[in-house]
Amino acid sequence: MNRFVTANPSKCIGCRTCEVACALAHSDGAGVEGLAPETFKPRIRMVKTANVSTAVMCHHCEDAPCVNACPNNAIVYRQHSVQVEQERCLGCKNCVLACPFGAMDVVTIPAVRQFAGMTLSLGVKAQAHKCDLCVGRDAGPACVSVCPTSALTLMDRDAMDETLRRRRERAALEAAEVAA
């Protein structure tokens, strides 16, 4: 089973702390100073309506449409999640069209190459952009660890089993109350 982050709209206050944490976790150590409007590219999005707010991010699907849609096999299953191998990404946007959750995006980044000790600018490169569950971060997804209301939860097999156990227990108690 792939791991994924769930969002509980009843707990979400729409503060966007998850977006900031995500952008910082992927800023290559640039810190807060590196978060300019042109570089603020979180892999999680806050969606707000008049009555509810919640985070939207990649579901790391078991049979991911984005994996199937990628013509260059740049989107792969790795570490119990769906990951993008950026060096293979063409920026074609097939994954964006295939994602049923609107969690995929294509962003442009500066394209540079090292040559003879110099950094050469090659313009920009388009690449797929999605939640990677902060796989290189020991503490797990940054969005989950900073959410002030615990609206975000990392789900794995154990967490899923526990959630299902609690729901079944609650349903059994409710059924017993109705029968009594």
Question: What global pTM score does this model have?
Answer: 0.83
Number of domains in the chain: 2
Can you tell me the distance from the alpha carbon of 56 to that of 99, in angstroms, rounded to the nearest whole number? 12
| Location of structure tokens 């299902």 | 164
Same domain, 67 and 124: yes
Q: Which domain holds residue 74?
A: 63-94+104-128
Instruction: Enter the DSSP assignment of 50.
Output: S
Same domain, 3 and 53: yes
pLDDT at residue 114 in the model: 84
What pLDDT, in 10s, does the model give residues 50-105?
A: 999 999 999 999 999 999 999 999 999 999 999 999 999 999 999 999 999 999 99
CATH of the domain at 12: 3.30.70
Contact 15, 148 (CB under 8 A): yes
Can you tell me the distance from the alpha carbon of 136 to that of 84, in angstroms, rounded to the nearest whole number? 13
- Averaged pLDDT score across all residues of the chain: 93
